[in-house]
A and B are shown apart, each in its own frame.
Chain A
């Protein structure tokens, strides 16, 4: 399995999803080798996973690894983690990677045509801008993944999101194993209509090269079909699940008075998540209610603009920015929140609302999200309908029975969304793909 992030080193839902899915697959007895692109020092963090560099793998035995955090690791006993060096210490220059990868890609006997690679090949003169670094990282990752793959025994390649598609294609080409790609988000979700052509091309190549595509929602499936020209029979939907947690924490309302209500935005502060709609709704809410604080937990490229926007709207003292939160901090913030709002403009799935419900926080989500396909006991709005967002925020804060009913039913409903089911569905897809490959 090819991934880009894994808890606790995450910037979004992808890491959470990979964690939940692999854990459930491990429970089903599936052997998973999880390849990560970054070197990670896990010692300072409480986690069930020992992230290791390839060198560690050769030095330490599997049993030694399992001794540390027994219980959690037992759950992940069938998952093996492989990491690949960070792009900051490249062991090859972009040009040599280009050659290496393109050579590997050409070996893949797929429906890809040659012209695609000519159009999208990496240009060395651009290598030092941010984008260039990303793409070379993607390629470097691919190269390393191939080397790892050649030393491993496995049946299927499962690649998560665009950054690993190139690696997926390469590994598939090098080993002849079928490729399943898992689309957690597309360039259209992240960037609206201002798509990055190179990323789009990588995504498109991955989708067309893949033997099967897993989309996290029908919303995403539709984008894959309509925007990337993939036929529908190739795209299956597997909804994400959520980890059940029973731990509860004491109230910790720092900077927030007891009688104040808290409305939470938790996610990257980027165009995709619709932070400005959250602020506009906040302003409307504050017109009719005073004892409310709006907490924006997360960071992102729009953070500065959003802080300035809040100040400009004259609600700066009512909006708190916490920066990016993880682990315990996330649970603590859920503990004090009265409502979680996700006004995403385009959200392929959205695991965070499930986690909010799991933590007994009622949820208001945009209809433009994949998760709204699976949740019924939540409030739903169009992301642009700020008046309605505000109307519903006020209702939740004002009417205790509404909060109660949403919590009760929402929490019950979310328990039915299990990673185990997602993992089972993935297994079925694997079996289909392997069967088809044999038949061909």
Chain B
């Protein structure tokens, strides 16, 4: 039996506006740019992709299933800038074939710096999903699929989740297959779903690459690759950014047509089916323990944290943010708390990455700044202003 398990990550950060050391106001975010990008991605990806998924669910009468993890910061932006996308997600939620996962509301790296903040953000996200989509998430995915044994223990101790999603990185699996469920060491309850990065990246990264020997990738060819797993695996975890559809891979690459045909092709084989992460966790046993003492992620070829925590600027900026936690929370200022949390979104630190910067690769494509240095300067200027808001002395003088 090979069960295909789709999970799509849906996220957009609150990008900062150009903020100099001479700025004194508390407007940190570039509303114009965020709105423009939100609307653009909605039109190119979210709306057409949701339409395709909804049609597929209807066509296959409950046999085609997918899962989403939509960050809190995107849900806020969609509600404000593209409410029509919210109604299509709502329609998907009501089909009963769509599962919503839990993550940190602010798409943050809080697990690395503050367990309290980490848990608070998960709770906030979970409550948001309950309110918007009427279901309680049972599977957790951490920002950028960052994971370690320690994260599993933290999640298990919350007693709210049955599964965790992370990367099926070669260096942790060795010769084992990502197509089974695993158990973290010392955990009784939670099971691990590991991304089949080879098949996932065939769709997410290589689909439109004309130098690739498999190009053009058709749904029937891809299904044959899935069929091969039949007999030596339970699940094929296809985890990717939702923006793959229409944004990373433009519509004219045929990505939507590929998706339209894929379920038929997969289910041509009688032993194949589609499951959501929760269903996969319920159906399949996790017999083996996979030990991941160090942190992994789904980024770059290194599958480590170096994209967010690879240089002195990133480390400094992250420490600055979490150093403020108590002051921000003690202030009782809700607006301040919200601003501080939006600054935790991992994208801000990704923009500061100097790795590969000179080569102009994928990092540059997603970067609103001309250089990692500009992004660090901007971020630190905002942090400087935010720190002033925390100081009671300042509040007293301005009041």
- Report A's interface with B, CB cutoff 8 A: 284, 287-288, 376-380, 387-388, 390-392, 394-395, 398-402, 404-406, 409, 413
Contact of A380 among B311, B371, B376 (CB under 8 A): B371
CA distance A376 to B373 in the complex (A): 10
A353 CB to nearest chain B CB (Å): 14
Chain A residues with Cβ under 8 A from B358's Cβ?
376-377, 413
Q: Check A390–B22 contact: CB distance below 8 A.
A: yes
Q: Check A399–B316 contact: CB distance below 8 A.
A: yes
In chain B, positions 356-387 with a C-beta closer than 8 Å to chain A are 357-358, 370-374, 376-377, 380-381
Chain B residues with Cβ under 8 A from A409's Cβ?
354, 357
Q: Check B374–A379 contact: CB distance below 8 A.
A: yes
Contact of B21 among A377, A379, A391, A404 (CB under 8 A): A391
On whether A404 and B312 interact (CB within 8 A), knowing A377-B357, A387-B20, A413-B358, the answer reads yes
Extra 11 A-B pairs, beta carbons < 8 Å, given A395-B377, A402-B376, A402-B380 = A379-B377, A390-B20, A390-B22, A391-B22, A395-B376, A398-B380, A399-B376, A399-B380, A402-B313, A402-B377, A405-B376
Q: Check A284–B311 contact: CB distance below 8 A.
A: no
Q: Check A401–B374 contact: CB distance below 8 A.
A: no
- Report B's interface with A, CB cutoff 8 A: 20-22, 311-313, 315-316, 354, 357-358, 370-374, 376-377, 380-381
CA distance A148 to B380 in the complex (A): 61
On whether A377 and B312 interact (CB within 8 A), knowing A391-B20, A395-B380, A402-B377, the answer reads no
CA distance A158 to B374 in the complex (A): 40
CA distance A264 to B177 in the complex (A): 58
A321 CB to nearest chain B CB (Å): 26
CA distance A233 to B377 in the complex (A): 41
Contact of B373 among A284, A287, A379, A398 (CB under 8 A): A379
Chain B residues with Cβ under 8 A from A388's Cβ?
20
Chain B residues with Cβ under 8 A from A390's Cβ?
20-22
On whether A405 and B21 interact (CB within 8 A), knowing A377-B357, A391-B377, A392-B377, the answer reads no
Q: Check A394–B373 contact: CB distance below 8 A.
A: no
B contacts with A: majority SS: helix
B12 CB to nearest chain A CB (Å): 26
A37 CB to nearest chain B CB (Å): 40
Interface centre among A391, A406, A409 (most CB of B within 10 A): A391
On whether A284 and B316 interact (CB within 8 A), knowing A376-B358, A380-B371, the answer reads no
Q: What are some 8 contacts across the A-B interface (CB < 8 A)? A: A377-B354, A379-B373, A379-B377, A395-B377, A401-B312, A402-B313, A402-B373, A413-B358
Q: Check B21–A395 contact: CB distance below 8 A.
A: yes
CA distance A379 to B377 in the complex (A): 10
CA distance A287 to B21 in the complex (A): 11
B370 CB to nearest chain A CB (Å): 7
Q: Check A405–B313 contact: CB distance below 8 A.
A: yes
Chain A residues with Cβ under 8 A from B370's Cβ?
380
Chain A residues with Cβ under 8 A from B357's Cβ?
376-377, 409
CA distance A94 to B167 in the complex (A): 79
B158 CB to nearest chain A CB (Å): 34
- In the complex, what residue of chain B is closest to A388 when comparing beta carbons? B20
Interface centre among B21, B22, B316, B354 (most CB of A within 10 A): B21
B348 CB to nearest chain A CB (Å): 15
CA distance A284 to B21 in the complex (A): 10
CA distance A400 to B311 in the complex (A): 12
- In the complex, what residue of chain A is closest to B20 when comparing beta carbons? A391
Chain A residues with Cβ under 8 A from B380's Cβ?
395, 398-399, 402
A261 CB to nearest chain B CB (Å): 14
Q: Check B354–A405 contact: CB distance below 8 A.
A: yes
Contact of A394 among B21, B313, B372 (CB under 8 A): B21
CA distance A376 to B353 in the complex (A): 13
Chain A residues with Cβ under 8 A from B315's Cβ?
401
- In the complex, what residue of chain B is closest to A284 when comparing beta carbons? B22
Q: Check A401–B313 contact: CB distance below 8 A.
A: yes
B166 CB to nearest chain A CB (Å): 29
A34 CB to nearest chain B CB (Å): 34
- In the complex, what residue of chain B is closest to A406 when comparing beta carbons? B373
CA distance A399 to B313 in the complex (A): 9
A343 CB to nearest chain B CB (Å): 17
CA distance A376 to B369 in the complex (A): 13
CA distance A96 to B54 in the complex (A): 90
